[in-house]
Amino acid sequence: MAGVEGRVAFITGAGSGIGRATARVLAQGGADIVVTDINLAGAEETAQAVTELGRKALALRVDVSDLRAVETATAQAGQELGAIDILFSNAGIGTQVAFADMTEEDWDHMFDVHLNGTYHCFRAVLPEMKTAGWGRLISTSSMGAFTGGVRLAHYCAAKAGIAGLTVAMASELARSGITVNAVAPGVIDTPMVRQSPERWVKNMTKTIPMRKLGQPEDIAHAVVYLASEEAGFMTGQILSPNGGSYMKWC
């Protein structure tokens, strides 16, 4: 199985949670990793784990809401690790606020990080993937884009935007050798979820048919599949590891 062996992956928000787990699993599969995050210390910790697995890693501080910063990072990554084959656009924030209290800044910041951040990353890596005639663009939507969520109107709207962007890009790139897919995680046990009150986490867990939170690795393995050579016929898909949360009766 070719998997992701010898590939170079660029991951955003890789200093924590799902991004960190994905960096590890990709490295276990033989990929080198550009570990980026707004939090450099977190990125450096992940990069250390990647090198301990025997792969190359480059830790960079990147704020995905800043197009120039993303472009600078992808250029530096290309010089130090080689052309980027796999993009995992994962950086995110989970700020909760009721719509009535939501400021324009709250709304704009959510879109800047999630939807604009994904657009910036796609835009920065695409030219080289087109030249190579091979690439994997993987974005991070959310189950919430399809189920909704209280105090999460801005988050769900931005994540629905990412789903639309992903499917549209998949259509546009269908004959290019580049696949475009998203993961739409259910509720996963990461620092983002743990910042919510314990009662909220307990109540959310009760709504999941499997009655447990997902682990970051549950998403990481889905991403590694989408990134693999073997997933070459998968495009325009939104894969949702969610413990059965879309089922109504169980």
Cα–Cα nearest to 81, from 53, 100, 59: 59
Total residues contacting ligand NAP by CB under 6 A comes to 30
Asked about 155 being catalytic, the answer comes back as yes
Q: 211: which DSSP letter?
A: S
Q: Radius of gyration (Cα) for the chain, nearest Å? A: 17
C-alpha 40/C-alpha 38 separation (Å) is 6
179, 232 Cβ separation under 8 angstroms: yes
**Residue 185 makes contact with ligand NAP by CB under 6 A:** yes
Residue 48 dihedral angles phi and psi, to the nearest 5° = -60, -45
**Residue 139 makes contact with ligand NAP by CB under 6 A:** no
Residue 39: alpha-carbon gap to chain centroid? 16
CB of 124 to ligand NAP, least distance (A): 13
The residue length of the chain stands at 250
C-alpha 2/C-alpha 244 separation (Å) is 30
Q: Which of 5, 6, 39, 212 binds ligand NAP (CB under 6 A)?
A: 39
**Residue 60 makes contact with ligand NAP by CB under 6 A:** no
**Residue 222 makes contact with ligand NAP by CB under 6 A:** no
CB of 213 to ligand NAP, least distance (A): 8
**Residue 42 makes contact with ligand NAP by CB under 6 A:** yes
C-alpha 63/C-alpha 85 separation (Å) is 21
Of residues 1-20, those binding ligand NAP (CB under 6 A): 12-13, 15-19
Q: Which of 35, 38, 173, 180 binds ligand NAP (CB under 6 A)?
A: 38
Positions annotated as catalytic residues are 155
Residues that bind ligand NAP (CB under 6 A): 12-13, 15-19, 37-39, 42, 62-65, 90-94, 113, 140, 142, 185, 187-188, 190-193
